[in-house]
């Protein structure tokens, strides 16, 4: 291994490891720390011009990483009303080769009456480890969406609320499904 990144949930190497050694052109899924700091360890024995990485970050109040099978993900403060002007990022990571199956058990997100679309408050399901991945669905309102299955072992759930009064939010049950083919 010539170069690698390792990411810790804190400011030192004694902190919990969020991402084990990763090398090559692997896309690391978004990570959510439990603290206000992350340590990114970059190790390389190559010429510096041959080893590069790019990191972007954003502060979020709400979010988590889920690695256990058969669990629930809910909007911030669920089952209470979600807060205004919030973003939340939830990442579900199944074992390599598995898919993630999601089923909404409830959804109550403010629907934008002026534009007849999900731009005010919404929950977006993204396939894969990048926020720029394929969107499997963007939902708002009160109609429970159909079940969703990923094509990869990582799903990102992105929640957004605007400045207007919120509602009860959403709750999603998930499990690790079939093997990827």
Domain presence at residue 55: no
Is residue 10 situated within a structural domain?
yes
* 129 shares its domain with 150: yes
Is 165 domain-assigned? yes
Task: Give the angle subtended at the CA of 100 by the CAs of 22 and 54, to the nearest 5°.
Answer: 30
| One domain for residues 38 and 74 | no
Do 69 and 157 reside in the same domain of the chain?
A: yes
Quote the pLDDT of residue 58.
Answer: 76
- At residue 3, the pLDDT reads 82
* Same domain membership, residue 108 and residue 43: no
pLDDT at site 82: 96
Domain membership of residue 9 (yes or no) is yes
Low-confidence ranges of the chain (pLDDT < 50): none
Distance CA 23, CA 20 (A): 10
Q: How many CA atoms lie within 13 A of 79 on its CB side?
A: 2
Q: What does the pLDDT look like over 83-92, one tens digit per residue? A: 999 999 999 9
Q: Which pLDDT belongs to residue 1?
A: 52
- Among 50, 71, 86, the domain-final residue is 50
Structural domain count, the chain: 2
User: What does pTM read for this prediction?
Assistant: 0.76
Domain range for 46 is 3-50
The confidence score (pLDDT) of residue 180 equals 63
> Would you state the structure tokens that stand for residue 164, as one six-digit string?
């207007």
**What is the pLDDT, as a whole number, of residue 114?**
64
Closest by alpha carbon to 126, among 143, 102, 107, 161? Answer: 102
* Residue 129 neighbours by CB under 8 Å, 6+ apart: 27, 28, 29, 30, 152, 154, 156
Q: Write the CATH number for 114.
A: 2.60.120.290
């Amino acid at each position: 291994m010539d170069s690698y990144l390792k990411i810790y949930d804190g400011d030192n190497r004694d902190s919990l490891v969020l991402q084990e050694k990763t090398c090559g052109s692997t896309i690391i899924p978004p990570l959510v720390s439990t603290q206000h700091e992350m340590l990114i360890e970059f190790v390389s024995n190559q010429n510096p011009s041959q080893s590069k990485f790019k990191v972007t970050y954003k502060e979020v109040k709400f979010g988590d990483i889920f690695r256990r099978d058969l669990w629930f993900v809910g909007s911030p403060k669920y089952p209470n009303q979600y807060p205004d002007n919030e973003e939340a990022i939830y990442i579900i990571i199944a074992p390599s080769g598995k898919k993630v199956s999601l089923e909404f058990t409830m959804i109550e997100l403010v629907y934008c009456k002026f534009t007849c679309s999900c731009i005010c408050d919404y929950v977006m399901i993204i396939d894969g480890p990048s926020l720029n991945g394929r969107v499997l669905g963007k939902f708002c309102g009160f109609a429970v969406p159909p079940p969703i299955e990923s094509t990869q072992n990582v799903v990102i759930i992105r929640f957004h609320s605007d400045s207007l009064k919120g509602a009860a939010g959403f709750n999603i049950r998930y499990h690790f499904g079939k093997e990827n083919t």
